[in-house]
Amino acid sequence: MAFRLETQNGITIGIAELDERLDAENSKALQKACGDWQQQTPFLVFDCTKLDFIDSSGLGAIVSCLRRSLEKNGDLKLAGLNAKVSMVFELTKAKKLFSIFSNASDAAASFAASRQP
Amino acid sequence: MTITETTGSTHTIVTICGTLDASTAPDFRNSPAIADPSRTVVIDLDKMDFLDSSGLGALVGVLRRKQEANATILLSCMNPPVRKVFDITGTCKLFHIFDDTDAANDYAATYLRGR
Amino acid sequence: MPQPPLRHPGNHNNAMKTLIAIKEQHQSWVRDAFPNMHPLLLPLCNKPFIEYLIDFAILAGSREIRLLSDGSLMEIEEICQTGSRWGVELTYANIRPEDGERELLHKNRKFCNGSRTMILNGYTFIDYDKRLDYRVLANHSATGPIASCSTGSIAFAGSPEPAADDNPLPALRITPLDSLRSCYHIAMQILETGAERYVLPGYGSEPGCAIGRNVAIAKTAEIRKPVSIGNNVQLLPGTIIGPMAVIGSNVIIDKGSSISGSIIFDNTYIGEQLEIEGRIASGNTLIDPESGASVAMEDPHLLTGIHSATNSATLLRKTIHALAAAILILLQAIPVIILYPLLRLQGKWKNGPITQQAGLAETLAARLSLDRFPLLPKVLLGQLAIIGSAPRSNSPGCRPAVFSYAEAEDWPVTGSDAAIVERYHAVHSTPFNDIGMTIKALINRPHKRNAGAAA
Amino acid sequence: MNSSNITITLPGELRFIRLASKIASNTASLFTETRKTEAENWEFAHAFELAVSEAFTNAVVHAKKQAAPQPVTITFTLEERKLTLAMRDSNVPFSTRTPSPDPENYPENGYGLLLIRTVMDTVTLTRENDTNIITMSKTL
C-alpha cells in the first residue's frame, strides 16, 4: 500500500495505491493505515488499478474508511476499478456510495475542481 | 467371435460376429485385411453383440496404423451398447461411422479412392 | 412443456427427417464457462437448448430426428431417451469433427431413406414462432441452405414438392450461440418476445410471467414482468424480480435483493440486499455478459452482503442444541435399549442408516430415527449441532449436525440442492427455529426410504 | 427381500473373460422390473457385463506377469434394488490413478477404468493382504 500526498488548489489529497488482494487477511491493516492517513487529510483517493480481488471484509473496510472521511467533511474516491472489482461494488450497491474515476489523477483533480469558486 | 472378409477392388468388408474383448482381440488383429495397414476396411458391426475396452483398443490401434499408411476404417451398423463404449471413451470422433454397410461401401469406393 | 406432435400428412416413411449436427468446436465456450453442464442442455430462458431444436424440427413436420455429435451424447440420451416425450423418434449417432453436410447425409443414409431431410447444423439459435407453419418451408424450399450464420446453418436435402401457390415462404433467422454474450441476449430476446412464440415451461398462465412448481413468493416480494422462474425457488421478503429476469431452478433470492435484466442459473443462492442488473449469476460466479469478466465469490459472506453475520448467538445456540439433544436422548433411550440388540443380532443395524424396513422393529427404529442416536452425545459436548448441514459435510460455512436442514425441509435431495438449503438456513435460522426444524426433520426423515441417506 | 451373497471362483485365464461377464449380466438381468422399460433393464445388465469384462481383463493381464495364474473370485450381493459385485484376485496390483486417455493420441489401452466408473454408480479399489478388491455397485 503505497501512500502519497498531493496538493492541488490548496487542498491536500492523499492517494493510496491498493495491493492486488483485499480480503480478511489485510483489510484490518488497511483500516488502521487509513486512520493514520486521515490524520493528515480527509480527502482520499484509493487507486485500485492493481486490485484484482476483493471480498466482503475488504469491501467493509473501504466503506468504513469512507464513513470516517465523510465524518471529517472529506470524501473517499475510487479510481481504476477493473471489471471484476467493479462488479462486486455494483452487486452490493456499494457503488452508489462512491465517486468512481477511471484513474487516480482524475479523482484527485475532482477534489480541486469542487473547490473552485 | 467369427470374422468374415469380403475383398473388393478398393477395400475389404469385414464382418465381426460375436464378441470383441481381450480373448478375441488377437484373432481380430491377425485377420488378413485388418493386419494389412494399407488396406481400407469397412467393418460391419451389425452382429457384434459386445465390445469392451480391449476390443476398442485393438480397433484404435488398427485405425492408427491404417491411417499412417493412408488407409482407414469405416464402421457400420453400430448398435447402442457398442456405440456407448465409443461415446464414453471419446473415440467416436476418430472413426467414420455409418448407419448402413452399403453407404459405407459407397463412401469407401468413391470418396476414399480419390485421396 | 412438450407439445403434442404434429401429424405429417402422407406416408410415414416419406415424412421429413431431421438431422441435428452439433460439433464440439462450437460448444467449447460453454464447457469453459459451465464445466458441469452439457452444452446441449444450456438453458435459454429456463428451457434447454436442445429442446428448441427438437421443437423446431417438429414444427417443420419431422417425426424422426437424429442427433449427431463428435462428442459424447450419453448425458443427452439419458435425458431425451427415445423422444417419446415429444411424440417423435429420437436416435443418436456420431460424426467426425471435419464432416460436412455431404458426409452427414452419407453416414446416415439408411435413416434419411431418400426422404426430404432437414439439416440443423451447428450451435445456433433458431428464431422460430410456434404459431407459424414451417411445414410449408420444409416441403417447398429448394435443396441447399436456407439460413446460415457464423456457427451453423439450416439446409434441406432431397427434392422439394412443387409450390402449390404463390404464398411466400416464412423467413427464418438464425443467430450464432457463440459466447456468454449471445447466450444472454438470446435469453433476453426470448423473454421479451414472450412464451407465445416459443414453447416455454411454467404454470403461469399470465403472459410474460412463467413460474414453475414449488415456488415460494413472500408477500412483500415484487414481480415485474416479464420474468421466467424455474422450480423450487424461494423469493424472500422485499425482493424485486424483474423486469427481464430469468431465474433457474433451486434458487433462493434473499431479503431485499433485486434482480433485473439478468439470468440466475440453477442452484444459486443470492444473498441479502444485493442488486443484480445485466448480469449472469451461476453458483458463486457473477459474470458480465458484455465484457465476459467474471468474479467467483470466494467467501459466502459476500453473498450475504456487507453486513457480516454475527457470532454472538453461538453460545445460546450451543446451549439450546445441547438441551434438545438431552431431551432426544431421554426419549430415544428406551427404544434404543430394546431395539438395538435385537436388530444388531439380525445384522440389520450396522454403522449407518437403517435401510431395510420390512419388519416392525426396523420400521419403528427408522421412524424414530434411532440410527442417529450415537451422534447425539456429540451435541452435548458441543462437537455437533442438533440441526445444520449433513453429518459428514465439513466444508467451510457449514455446520455439521445430527440432522440436516435439507432433511427437515424434505427438499428434493440431490447434492447441490440440499447444500443450498443448508447454507441458507445456516445463515438465517435462529436457535429457536432450529428446534422446530429438528422436529420437522424427525417427522420427514424416515419417509425417504431409498434416498441413500448415507451419501 | 434380505440381502444374499453368491460367490463364484474362476481360473484367471483370458478364455474365462466371456464366462465371467456373461455370469454378471445374467445375474443382473434377474433384477428386471416391470416399472422400468426394457431398455433400462437391458442397460443394467449390459453395465455389469462391460464392467466385469474390464475388471477381469485387468486381473488376468496382470496375472500374466506371474508364474502361475491366480484364481479370480467374484461375489455378488443382491439387495432390494441394488446389485453389488466384488472381484478379488491376488495378482500384482494395477495402478488406480491412471488418467483418462486422450483420444487424439489414439491410445490402445487405458479405457477400462473409465468405462467401469462411467457405467457403475460406485466403484472402489482396495488392496488387503495381497488381495486386490474392486467393488462396484449399481441401483436399478
Each residue's pLDDT tens digit, C65-83: 999 999 999 999 989 999 9
Distance CA C285, CA C283 (A): 6
Chains B and D physically touch (3 or more Cβ atom pairs below 8 Å): yes
Interface test with C, best of D3, D40, D102, D115 (most C CBs within 10 A): D3
Residue C382's pLDDT is what? 77
Chain C residues touching D81 at Cβ < 8 A = 450
**How far from chain centre, in Å, is Cα B76?**
8
Higher pLDDT, B89 or C283: B89
Chain C residues touching A56 at Cβ < 8 A = 299, 301-302, 304-306, 308
Residue C223 has φ and ψ, to the nearest 5°, of -115, 125
Of B88, B94, B97, the CB nearest to C93: B97
Put simply, whether C179 touches D (Cβ < 8 Å) is no
Strands of C233-235's sheet in order across:
C215-217, C233-235, C251-253, C268-270
| Cross-chain residue pair A63–C306, CB shorter than 8 Å | yes
* Architecture of the domain whose range is A2-115: 2-Layer Sandwich (3.30)
The CA-based diameter of chain C, rounded to the nearest angstrom, is: 87
Higher pLDDT, C1 or C379: C379
Task: Please give the share of chain C, as a percent, with pLDDT higher than 90.
Answer: 37
Work out the average pLDDT over C301-308: 39
Instruction: Assess whether pLDDT exceeds 70 at residue C355.
Output: no
C-alpha cell at position D22: 456373461
DSSP state of D93: P
| Cross-chain residue pair D81–C450, CB shorter than 8 Å | yes
Instruction: Assess whether pLDDT exceeds 70 at residue C212.
Output: yes
Distance from CA of D68 to the nearest CA of C (A): 39
Place of cell 476404417: B73
Chain B residues touching C92 at Cβ < 8 A = 83
User: Torsion over CA of C125, C131, C133 and C137, rounded to 10 degrees?
Assistant: -30
In the structure, what pLDDT confidence band is assigned to residue C193 with cuts at 50, 70 and 90? Answer: confident
Chain D residues touching B60 at Cβ < 8 A = 103, 106-108
Place of cell 476499478: A81
Residue D21's pLDDT is what? 94
Residue C202's pLDDT is what? 57
| Cross-chain residue pair D81–C356, CB shorter than 8 Å | no
Task: Please give the share of chain C, as a percent, with pLDDT higher than 70.
Answer: 79
Chain D residues touching C355 at Cβ < 8 A = 79
Residues 6+ apart with CB under 8 A from C367: C446
Residue C124's pLDDT is what? 95
Question: For D3, which residue in chain C has the nearest alpha carbon?
Answer: C356
In the structure, what pLDDT confidence band is assigned to residue C297 with cuts at 50, 70 and 90? Answer: confident
Q: Tell me the per-residue pLDDT of C365-423, one tens digit each, with 9 for 90 and over.
A: 777 888 888 888 888 887 788 887 765 554 445 577 888 877 777 665 455 556 666 66
| Cross-chain residue pair A55–C302, CB shorter than 8 Å | yes
Place of cell 434404543: C336
Q: Which domain holds residue D75?
A: 4-139
Q: What share of chain A is helix, strand, coil (3-state, %, to 5)?
A: 45, 25, 25
Put simply, whether C305 touches A (Cβ < 8 Å) is yes
Interface test with D, best of B24, B51, B52 (most D CBs within 10 A): B52
Q: Is the ipTM of this complex over 0.90?
A: no
Residue A39's pLDDT is what? 93
Of C73, C97, C106, the CB nearest to B103: C106
Distance CA C307, CA C414 (A): 30
Distance CA C335, CA C260 (A): 54
Question: For B18, which residue in chain D has the nearest alpha carbon?
Answer: D18
Tally the domains of chain D. Answer: 1
Put simply, whether C357 touches D (Cβ < 8 Å) is no
* Domains of chain C with bracketed CATH: 12-178 (3.90.550.10), 209-303 (2.160.10.10), 314-447 (no CATH)
Higher pLDDT, A45 or A68: A45
In the structure, what pLDDT confidence band is assigned to residue C2 with cuts at 50, 70 and 90? Answer: very low
Of B21, B64, B91, the CB nearest to D57: B21
What is the pairing mode between strands C144-149 and C152-157?
A: antiparallel
Q: Find the radius of gyration of the CA atoms of chain B.
A: 13
Q: Tell me the per-residue pLDDT of D59-104, one tens digit each, with 9 for 90 and over.
A: 888 666 666 778 899 999 988 888 999 999 887 776 666 667 787 7
C-alpha cell at position C365: 427404529
Give the bridge partners for C263, in sequence order.
Answer: C246, C280
Residue C308's pLDDT is what? 35
Q: What is the CATH number of the domain that holds D117?
A: 3.30.565.10
Chain A residues touching C238 at Cβ < 8 A = none
Residue C438's pLDDT is what? 84
In the structure, what pLDDT confidence band is assigned to residue C222 with cuts at 50, 70 and 90? Answer: very high
| Cross-chain residue pair D2–C356, CB shorter than 8 Å | yes
In the structure, what pLDDT confidence band is assigned to residue C35 with cuts at 50, 70 and 90? Answer: confident
Instruction: Tell me the residues of D at the C interface, defined by beta carbons under 8 Å apart.
Output: 2, 39, 79-81, 118
In the structure, what pLDDT confidence band is assigned to residue C130 with cuts at 50, 70 and 90? Answer: confident
Using H for helix, E for strand and C for coil, what is the string for C336-404?
HHHHHHHHHHCCCCCCCCCCCCCCHHHHHHHHCCHHHHHHHHHHHCCCCEEEEECCCCCCCCCCEEEEE
Put simply, whether C356 touches D (Cβ < 8 Å) is yes
Residue C10's pLDDT is what? 41
Distance from CA of C48 to the nearest CA of D (A): 23
Residue D130: count other Cβ atoms within 10 Å of its Cβ: 10
Instruction: Assess whether pLDDT exceeds 50 at residue C90.
Output: yes
**How far from chain centre, in Å, is Cα C207?**
23
Distance CA C361, CA C350 (A): 15
Instruction: Assess whether pLDDT exceeds 60 at residue C99.
Output: yes
Distance from CA of C383 to the nearest CA of A (A): 26
Higher pLDDT, C381 or C27: C27
Instruction: Assess whether pLDDT exceeds 80 at residue A72.
Output: yes
**D38-63 vs D17-28: helix crossing angle, rounded to 10:** 150
Higher pLDDT, C141 or D68: C141
Residue C412's pLDDT is what? 53
Q: Tell me the per-residue pLDDT of C435-451, one tens digit each, with 9 for 90 and over.
A: 888 888 888 775 554 44
Residue C121's pLDDT is what? 94
Q: B2-105 maps to which CATH number?
A: 3.30.750.24
Distance CA C254, CA C240 (A): 10
In the structure, what pLDDT confidence band is assigned to residue C9 with cuts at 50, 70 and 90? Answer: very low
Distance from CA of B3 to the nearest CA of C (A): 23
Of D14, D115, D118, the CB nearest to B22: D14
Distance CA D74, CA D85 (A): 7
Q: B114: exposed, middle or buried (C-beta count within 10 Å: 0-12, 13-18, 19+)?
A: exposed
In the structure, what pLDDT confidence band is assigned to residue C301 with cuts at 50, 70 and 90? Answer: very low
Chain C residues touching D39 at Cβ < 8 A = 81-82
Higher pLDDT, A84 or D80: A84
Instruction: Assess whether pLDDT exceeds 90 at residue C302.
Output: no
Interface test with B, best of D43, D53, D64, D114 (most B CBs within 10 A): D53
Of A53, A56, A87, the CB nearest to C286: A87
Q: Which chains touch A (3 or more CB pairs under 8 A)?
A: C
Residue C408's pLDDT is what? 77
Interface test with B, best of C64, C72, C98 (most B CBs within 10 A): C72
Higher pLDDT, C209 or B42: B42
Interface test with D, best of C96, C355, C449 (most D CBs within 10 A): C355
Residue C285's pLDDT is what? 87
* C-alpha dihedral sign at B105, B107, B111, B112: negative
Put simply, whether C109 touches B (Cβ < 8 Å) is yes
Instruction: Tell me the residues of A at the C interface, defined by beta carbons under 8 Å apart.
Output: 23-24, 53, 55-57, 59-60, 63, 82-85, 87-88, 90-94
Chain D residues touching C24 at Cβ < 8 A = none
DSSP state of C116: -
Q: Tell me the per-residue pLDDT of B57-89, one tens digit each, with 9 for 90 and over.
A: 999 999 999 999 999 999 999 999 999 999 999
Place of cell 445444520: C388
Q: Tell me the per-residue pLDDT of D105-138, one tens digit each, with 9 for 90 and over.
A: 788 888 888 899 999 999 998 888 888 899 999 9
Distance from CA of C16 to the nearest CA of D (A): 26
Interface test with B, best of D41, D60, D61, D108 (most B CBs within 10 A): D108
Work out the average pLDDT over C355-362: 65
| Closest among C398, C271, C403, C253 to C328, alpha carbons compared | C403
In the structure, what pLDDT confidence band is assigned to residue C434 with cuts at 50, 70 and 90? Answer: confident
What is the pairing mode between strands A43-47 and C401-404?
A: unpaired
Distance CA C48, CA C41 (A): 5
